[in-house]
A and B are shown apart, each in its own frame.
Chain A
Amino acid sequence: MNQFFHSVTLDKDKCMGCTNCIKRCPTEAIRVRNGKAKIISERCIDCGECIRVCPHHAKKAKYDTLDILQNFKYKIALPAPTLYGQFNNLDDIDIVLTGLKHIGFDDVFEVSRSAELVSEVTRKLLQEGKLKKPVISSACPAVVRLIRVRFPDLCSHVLQLNSPMETAARIAKREAAKKTGLPISEIGAFFITPCPAKVTSIKMPISCKKSEVDGAIAISEIFAKLAAAMEDQKEVEQLSQSGIIGVGWASSGGESTALLSDKYLAADGIENVIRVLEELEDEKIRELDFIELNACSGGCVGGVLCVENAYVAKARLQRLRRYLPVSQNHIDGKIPSGMAWRKNLLFAPVLKLSDDMNEALRMMAEIDKISEELPGLDCGSCGAPTCRALAEDIVRGFAKRNQCIFVMREEIKNVADALSSMGTFLPRNDKEKKEQ
């Protein structure tokens, strides 16, 4: 596999080279070069903002299709609770789960079930006081990647617990192996995903060597097929085993309220998330135990691979949750060993100017100088999101000063002036010569 797998990719033919995506990228990971957008792989956190804003649909997410099921003997669907919010007039989660079994899956394991386990373990860890407070949720993979590239000092605050998705795959595959007698390698677990960041976290995990999840299929990919399979079901199987807490994880605030404490904060939308992280870094946010952050507005219901408006989906989920038990999944006593991360979160200094600090200081001085000479309009016409980003690109050797259209205009004017003055220049006549 490529060193940097990304779910978020570009369809070159559709890209018009406009500046919508470069201006919205939270890690300044996109440049327009030769009329087409280019994603800087090391910087991309797969948040999907560019997919959301691209008016030409040139930014897209790579994910698996139902064809991947053929590679396994026993197939388990791992639906994100967000999936339930996509359907109108749904009054029973089991209709969705039964539908999944009609479109090719042998079994389902709700991610909301393992979310309840993660909530219980988080509560326990907080009570034991072993975590560095405030603890930052690790459920949103885009947020974890954002912290990894931009907030070195906060890496140690990230909750090093596997996500509900990862935990679901682990439990579901082991349960299925017992039930069917098949080896684990012939059992496939597939996440029904609301976002590209989850796809990347399966193909290129940062919390372990290899994910237990075997594929990720977009909600938008199976929506039509699943909706059809949900019509006229002769028999609705009783499959759902999650409660208010688990289903609540789909929207912002759900993970925090499950901690049954009021010392939390929940922020959603990538810009808001960055603002909170900046303040956390400066120790301006104190006296809180838990920080829930979701890159998408509204939480997972706002993912770019959903079909329904985030707020409509959230309202539907509130209705679906109403008569459920609070929580239906519990750990017995101690924390299962498989739930902890296998690797620590290490800072990835992708924005660093140079490994040699003396050189970095020189470059920074140069960036400041060039940046002052640029017009400061941040128009994006040069292909970089801001004038400062262009100055950085120039100093790093990736761009030229006259990519700025204002600098170029100045250069053209100088050339034109020079030509024009040459045009009016007359050779001296004989009379003048004599006078000299």
Chain B
Amino acid sequence: MKNILSFDYIVPGDDFTRAGEASSDVKHKLKQIGYDPDAIRRVAIAMYEGEINMVIHAGGGQVHVEINPEKVDMVLADQGPGIKDIALAMREGYSTAPDNVRALGFGAGMGLSNMKKCTDTMKIDTEVGKGTTLHMTVFIKR
């Protein structure tokens, strides 16, 4: 039988300074489990970008992570404004982040494309006005 480990996190939407805590926790756990360093790096970056997006655009959300010896599945769900044009949002440099967030060095329009690069599969379910759910998978061996 394969052991599957799962974790759930709530990403608070009102506190920017706490964004990234969930991905940091998952990173530490993967290291202890003895996961492949490159896979850990990719999970940490993809999840971090996702968390930041939730805080900037959607007022927070929920993250569900499942780890098994072959892969890490991440589901990031929010109840934010949704993405109008996915193709446009995926384009490097395209951003709808407000100026105050850009002043902190975020909102460069690299988030989604970076997540795509780091993961092996990525699926975006979004509905304008309802929210966005992102499914990402990182395999231990690419």
Contact = CB atoms under 8 A, between A and B. Distances in A.
Interface stretch (B31-39, B121-129, B130-138): B31-39
The residue among B24, B27, B35, B37 with the most chain A CB atoms within 10 A of its own CB is B37
B87 interface: no
Nearest to A365: B5
Contact of A365 (B3, B20, B34, B40): B3
B69 A358 contact: yes
A351 B32 contact: yes
Contacts of B34: 349, 352-355, 357, 360
Chain A interface residue number, banded: 20 to 34
A278 B24 contact: yes
A91 interface: no
A364 B37 contact: no
Nearest to A367: B32
Interface in A349-397: 349, 351-355, 357-362, 364-365
Interface in B1-60: 2-5, 20, 23-24, 27, 29, 31-35, 37-38, 40-41, 44-45, 48
A186 interface: no
Nearest to A354: B34
A125 B68 CA distance: 41
Contact of B37 (A152, A353, A355, A365): A152
Contacts of B67: 361
A348 to B, nearest CB: 12
Given A152-B31, A352-B34, A360-B33, A281 B5 contact: no
A280 to B, nearest CB: 11
Contacts of A150: 31
Given A358-B2, A360-B32, A360-B33, A153 B69 contact: no
The residue among A150, A281, A353, A354 with the most chain B CB atoms within 10 A of its own CB is A281
Contact of B33 (A152, A283, A361): A361
Contact of B45 (A282, A354, A355, A364): A282
Interface of B: 2-5, 20, 23-24, 27, 29, 31-35, 37-38, 40-41, 44-45, 48, 67-69
